[in-house]
Amino acid sequence: PEARTAAHEIGRLLRPDLRGRSPYGAPQLDVPVRLNTNENSYPVPEVIVRAVMAALEDDIRSLNRYPDREFTDLRAVLTSYLGQQSGVRVRPEQVWAGNGSNEVLSHLVQAFGGHGRTALGFTPSYSMHPIITATLGTTWADGMRESGTFELTAEAAAEQARAHDPSIVFLCSPNNPTGTALPFEVIGAVLDAAPNAVVVVDEAYAEFARPGTRSALTLLEGNPRLVVTRTMSKAFAFAGGRLGYLVADPALVDALRLVRLPYHLSTPTQTIARVALQHADLLLATVEAIKAERDRIVDGLAGMGLAPVASDSNFVLFGGLADAHATWQALLEAGVLVRDVGIPHHLRVTAGTPAETSAFLEAMGRLAPEHR
């Protein structure tokens, strides 16, 4: 009863718009095959482990000092990585980083959203976009994709952008949870249709895109309202390191200084990420292998008569299930954790190692007919 009273009391004190909400939480279960959060299944290579340990030693001695607020060295390596990866020349003052791209997204909403303003996204998409928006006191407008195919055309996106006149538009390409990259024209169409908005293209999975996919980085020149966010959590196998970043006009980046907490990137975070980026080639060596597993998952599921969605990411959304939650549960009992993203008849599975793909496909193959 005492606990109930405290919960009641806290509920009374809580911001009214937060009452009754539940926190973001993909289950972190101890299961042999974990394919539910789009992590990279490969551990950090030994060479990088040793380089990081050596670099950290000096850092730890100087932990009595605050970190470099401007993360100068990290910015420089992010800048050269982006140039190499995308072919787009980026200057250090165009780069901003945070503890995961979630933090970078929250800086954007803090700076450009707020009371009386609206952020528009196109559902289904990354579930944190509406959560970050609403918890920061900004109104969320739930835009729509084509039902069934989850496609978003330039015309449909522009029409919805015009209707809402948002302060922020979230695009996600490749899109989580559907996996597919957006048609490139959507970005320009949204910039035109939402003249009062900062347009954010969340490219967390950019490195996994199929050949021919064009990054929004190529549109930054001359578009000061455009922002491209990226992360080291996926292709870089660095989810635990918590390093996300964005690229935009220097004036936009400068505005984010108004909302970040001082010294938000710890000295060890800056160092670990910098050293990892200096070994980018080695860390990214897993990307091709993961893409091959993703394609194997698509083929395997299609072979079972299910409906996988085309993927430019390290995961596959698949439909055609009679009861997605029952399938999720049956897979869990077989030791394979996938994600129920709340889309009826669909589940999402991360592409990991060849052994994990085999375990997943075999478990799917063994399921009772009513579970597939």
| Phi, psi dihedrals of residue 200, rounded to the nearest 5° | -105, 120
In the bound state with ligand PMP, the residue whose beta carbon lies nearer, of 126 and 140, is: 126
Query: Does 180 contact ligand PMP by CB under 6 A?
Result: no
Which residue stretch of 97-105, 287-295, 320-328, 351-359 sits at the interface with ligand PMP (rule: CB under 6 A)? 97-105
Q: Which of 100, 113, 121, 241 binds ligand PMP (CB under 6 A)?
A: 100
Q: Least distance in Å: CB of 212 to ligand PMP?
A: 20
Query: Does 272 contact ligand PMP by CB under 6 A?
Result: no
Contacts for 155 with CB less than 8 Å, ≥ 6 apart: 189
CA angle centred on 55, ends 53 and 57, rounded to 5°? 70
State whether the Cα torsion 12-14-16-21 is positive or negative.
Answer: negative
Sort 162 into a burial class: Cβ within 10 Å, 0-12 / 13-18 / 19+.
middle
Which residue stretch of 86-94, 99-107, 296-304, 346-354 sits at the interface with ligand PMP (rule: CB under 6 A)? 99-107
Report d(CA 84, CA 77) in Å as an integer. 11
In the bound state with ligand PMP, the residue whose beta carbon lies nearer, of 106 and 267, is: 106
Identify the DSSP state of 180: P
In the bound state with ligand PMP, the residue whose beta carbon lies nearer, of 249 and 312, is: 312
Contacts for 272 with CB less than 8 Å, ≥ 6 apart: 52, 55, 56, 241, 243
Query: Does 233 contact ligand PMP by CB under 6 A?
Result: yes
Query: Does 204 contact ligand PMP by CB under 6 A?
Result: yes
- Binding residues among 311-370 for ligand PMP as defined by CB under 6 A: none
Q: Closest residue to ligand PMP, Cβ-based?
A: 100
Which residue stretch of 96-104, 142-150, 192-200, 277-285 sits at the interface with ligand PMP (rule: CB under 6 A)? 96-104
Q: Least distance in Å: CB of 128 to ligand PMP?
A: 6
Report d(CA 311, CA 289) in Å as an integer. 15
Q: Which of 111, 239, 280, 341 binds ligand PMP (CB under 6 A)?
A: 239
Q: Which of 36, 178, 215, 231 binds ligand PMP (CB under 6 A)?
A: 231
- Binding residues among 14-53 for ligand PMP as defined by CB under 6 A: 38
Stretch (H or E) spanning 323: none
Report d(CA 139, CA 212) in Å as an integer. 35
Q: How many residues bind ligand PMP (CB under 6 A)?
A: 13
In the bound state with ligand PMP, the residue whose beta carbon lies nearer, of 86 and 229, is: 229
Report d(CA 160, CA 319) in Å as an integer. 26
Q: Which of 40, 79, 94, 101 binds ligand PMP (CB under 6 A)?
A: 101
Q: Which of 157, 172, 228, 273 binds ligand PMP (CB under 6 A)?
A: 172
- Binding residues among 109-168 for ligand PMP as defined by CB under 6 A: 126
Residue with tokens 């394919």: 35
Contacts for 143 with CB less than 8 Å, ≥ 6 apart: 120, 121, 122, 123, 157, 160, 161, 164
Identify the DSSP state of 336: E
CA angle centred on 289, ends 285 and 291, rounded to 5°? 115
Q: Least distance in Å: CB of 203 to ligand PMP?
A: 8
- Amino acid at position 281, single letter: D
Q: Which residues contribute to the site for ligand PMP (CB under 6 A)?
A: 38, 100-102, 126, 172, 176, 202, 204, 231, 233, 239, 244
